[in-house]
């Protein structure tokens, strides 16, 4: 079974502080994604990656950076956290099209910025 | 307007009944995925579709790219089917999904 693990699962951060959300996948998938989910907005894409060393901006990248140092790991970095970044963050991985490109999600990371 | 529009936005059913959820696309969707977010917040993939149909147990999904819609049918609904169902479409073959806003389904005993 495909596995995507996020850490931390819960985080309280102070405004202006740095937050790093980590994601690890054991699926050997090339593609990885960071989404945030807020009530009334569904899932919104922040950053994504096509493979190690690659990061691409999604629909709402402002205030976020991403890092993909290896096939397995994809991090989301908030250099200067703000209360508007309070949300639930989901990481996902997806394989190649010939394997059906199904997205597998982690359990989510709940971030509160105070 | 919404590129991926889901209907209904919410639905309440008795256990054992059938339901149909729908997504309409205003984009040229090439593939569609359906997900269930359970009440604990976990997201699970239900189907990945190219044009055509797929079936898995009590779930059946169809995607018609020419008519720009996809459906998800749930037969003999069970309590564990409760949650929010999302559809998401790929348009430009770029491994990115455009998400609908979800259908919240409540199954009552």
Instruction: Give the residue numbers spanning the domain of B54.
Output: 4-103
Contact (CB<8Å) A105/B43: yes
Could you tell me if residue B23 is inside a domain?
yes
B108 in a structural domain: no
Residue A99: pLDDT over 70: no
Better-predicted residue by pLDDT, B94 or A81: A81
Contacts of B88 in chain A (CB under 8 A): 43, 103
Query: What's the pLDDT score for residue A95?
Result: 80
Mean pLDDT score of chain A: 93
**Nearest CB to B48 within list A42, A88, A102:** A102
Of A101-105, B16-20, B40-44, where does mean pLDDT reach its minimum? A101-105
Distance (Å, rounded) from C-alpha B34 to C-alpha B18?
A: 17
The total number of structural domains in chain B stands at 1
Rounded distance, CA A29 to CA A32, Å?
7
Residue B1 has pLDDT above 90, yes or no: no
Q: Which domain does A47 fall in, by range?
A: 4-113
Number of domains in chain A: 1
Query: Which residue from B minimizes the CA distance to A56?
Result: B96
DSSP state of B61: E
Asked whether residue B109 is domain-assigned, the answer is no
Q: What is the CATH number of the domain that holds B21?
A: 2.60.40.10
Predicted confidence band of residue A75 (pLDDT cuts 50, 70, 90): very high
Phi-psi region of B103 (alpha: psi -120 to 50; beta: other; left: phi over 0): beta
> Cβ separation of B41 and A103 shorter than 8 Å?
no
Tell me the C-alpha to C-alpha distance, in Å, between residue B62 and each of B3, B49, B56, B72, B84. Answer: 18, 8, 12, 7, 18
Distance CA B29, CA B91 (A): 4
CATH number of the domain encompassing residue A84 = 2.60.40.10
CA distance B44 to B33: 11
CB contact under 8 A, A88 and B35: no
Q: Which of A31, A100, A108 lies nearest to residue B95, judging by beta carbons?
A: A31
Yes or no: say if A55 and A66 are a contact pair by the CB < 8 Å rule.
yes
């Amino acid at each position: 079974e495909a596995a995507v693990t996020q850490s931390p699962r819960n985080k309280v951060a102070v405004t202006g502080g740095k937050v790093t959300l980590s994601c690890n996948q054991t699926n050997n998938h090339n593609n990885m994604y960071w989404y945030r989910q807020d009530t009334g907005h569904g899932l919104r894409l922040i950053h994504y990656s096509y493979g190690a060393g690659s990061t691409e901006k999604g629909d709402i990248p402002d205030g976020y950076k991403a890092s993909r140092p290896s096939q397995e790991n994809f991090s989301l970095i908030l250099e200067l956290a703000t209360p508007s970044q309070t949300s639930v963050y989901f990481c996902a991985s997806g394989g190649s099209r010939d394997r059906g490109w199904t997205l597998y999600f982690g359990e989510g990371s709940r971030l509160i910025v105070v | 307007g919404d590129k991926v529009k889901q209907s209904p936005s919410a639905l309440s059913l008795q256990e054992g009944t059938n339901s149909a959820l729908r997504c309409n696309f205003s984009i040229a969707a090439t593939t569609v995925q359906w997900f269930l977010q359970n009440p604990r917040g976990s997201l699970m993939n239900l189907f990945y579709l190219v044009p055509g149909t797929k079936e898995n147990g009590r779930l059946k999904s169809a995607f018609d790219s020419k008519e720009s819609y996809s459906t998800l049918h749930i037969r003999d609904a069970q309590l564990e089917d409760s949650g929010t169902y999302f559809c998401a479409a790929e348009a430009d073959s770029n491994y990115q999904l455009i998400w609908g806003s979800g259908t919240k389904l409540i199954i009552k005993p």
